[in-house]
Structure 1
């Protein structure tokens, strides 16, 4: 029998894991304990720092609500969300790259007709988004659902302002036909800060980091027999592309939003999405 000491701490804790634990849980928890104990030894954590960490996590949980998930925000700002995304989406060359889901997606947004304007509050510069949903061989994908959402001109999502913005403002789902084409009108999105009035915001301030995300439109593209794609289209030239607070920018997702002369829209963003078949 081994007793707890500074040198044997991780092995003693992991030695208490019972035989009924699943192999996967055993692997995850064993590694977690080993890395966590190694971290505490490496920085020689003080009791005051340990208490600060406990209070930080407590406050993070206390600020969570039905419309705000501070733990996702913490994961995002530490780069963990993007690392998990990268590990779980090692797709073949040619597939559209993924990025973080974010906390502001809403299930069952209205399915709208192609070309519909999803900006319901009348704010912002209208942008036409268009392109195709294709497989890796360039074949169009029929019945793909293109689920989109963005902030409004003031930099807020509708769920952040339920008493100000109309329900499902800047949200919608579009179904592709035989040609795989999609088209809708939204706004040219704007940069915005992630919620920084809670413990995660205090952490960023203490680290000398800003809370801003570069302007982007969210896309969730799904189709029968294909892997689901979660990604953004970022506005080229945005101030925060190289310092996104949640590390979500990838070069292939930066798009030239082109100024156009039209009575229907002021901007245009064209982008084709390439999905992986389930067997690829």
Structure 2
């Protein structure tokens, strides 16, 4: 072994040893895994000092671009596919597939009643969205919390246009009725580019990637006794449905927003003229399902008593 190779191994060993007193075993495991992979990356690709400095400058710029309405680190995680990878490895199966949170979620959406409109701008492409929330056995979940947010038909979220859009436009926090159902009026969202005025935009340009996301509506669903779910519904005929910049499209989440030209139905929903309509179920998983890891552990403990 050469002196350089020995020094490389020694650096990795010393770094790993520095975590030996970590009292949290999961934290220790995560840090050790990170160090092993980062050191392996450096040994394999052997970046120059100038390249390393540029990487530090890039990450510094990512942090400096973050504020109360912009999360550039989430954006970076998204475009590198890390956000979707985390969602994928945490999937349990049986429920609606999860997707990324995205950089434009706010902590508190305005509370709304079923049937309300979340479009405060008077957009032209009217849409009615009907959602039914169920458990994996098909039972409707009454009183489930459903947090909704979307962009306008021009492709902007409220936090991107202060002074143009009222805060809360395109957002709503709903509760399902006794049948697990809710509906709301809105506009058909547009496809849009993720923000490219920061370091993540520079990365996309350097790699000749487009910044576009297909049209979608975000949902976070929470129900007692069930795992929270973060997901999207994608508009089936949207541009870029096959090339989402953040890799979040899943076939099961693509929904037809069909055109409805029925005056009676329009009156019932409180809209005028032809409108688009989307109807779909969102299925959330119980906290502990038969066959899940926690359930198997509990069954094993009971069997040993």
Task: Report matched runs for 1:131-170 at 5 Å.
Answer: 131-170=131-170
Report the counterpart of residue 248 of structure 2 in structure 1: 248
Write the distance in 2 (CA, Å) between the matches of 1:96 and 1:55.
39
Matched residue SS, 1:139: coil
Q: How many Å separate the matches in 2 of 1:226 and 1:22?
A: 27
1:55 to 49, 52, 57: 57
Aligned partners of 1:161, 1:23: CA distance in 2, in Å? 44
What does residue 272 of structure 1 align with? 281
1:63 Cα offset (Å):
1.2
Structure number with the higher helix fraction is 2
* Structure of higher RCO (CA pairs closer than 8 Å, 6+ residues apart): 1
CA RMSD of aligned residues (A): 1.6
5+ unaligned residues in a row in structure 2: which ranges? Answer: 290-305
Q: Partners in 2 of 1:239 and 1:201 — Cα distance?
A: 20
1:68-87 Cα deviation digits (max 9, x unpaired)? 11111001110111111112
Q: Per the alignment, in what secondary structure is the counterpart of residue 242 of structure 2?
A: helix
- 2:92 corresponds to 1:83: no
**What is aligned with 2:232?**
232
Given the superposition, is the C-alpha separation of residues 15 and 107 from structure 1 closer, same or farther in structure 2, using an over 3 Å criterion?
A: closer
TM-score (norm 2): 0.87
SS of residue in 2 equivalent to 1:203? helix
Note the C-alpha offset of 1:21: 4.1
| Comparing 265-274 and 247-256, the one that deviates more | 265-274
Q: Measure the CA separation in 1 of the matches of 2:113 and 2:170.
A: 14
How many residue pairs get matched? 276
Distance 2:131 2:74 in 1: 31
* 2:114 counterpart SS class: coil
Give the Cα–Cα distance (whole angstroms) in 2 for the partners of residues 108 and 16 of structure 1.
41
CA positional deviation for 1:131: 3.0
Question: 2:123 & 2:237 partners in 1: Cα distance?
Answer: 22
Deviation at 1:99, TM superposition (A): 0.4
Aligned residue runs from structure 1 range 27-42, under 5 A: 27-42=29-44
DSSP-derived class of the 1:272 partner = strand
Alpha-carbon offset, residue 110 of structure 1: 2.1
**Rg comparison, structure with higher value:** 2
Aligned partners of 1:25 and 1:136: how far apart in 2?
Answer: 33
Measure the CA separation in 1 of the matches of 2:243 and 2:27: 35
Paired residue secondary structure (2:99): coil
Unaligned stretches of 5+ residues in structure 1: none
TM-score where L is the length of structure 1: 0.94
**Counterpart residue number, 2:302:** none
Residues in 1 aligned to 2:33 and 2:107: alpha-carbon distance in whole angstroms: 34
Supply the distance in 1 between the matched residues of 2:244 and 2:193 (Cα, whole angstroms).
10
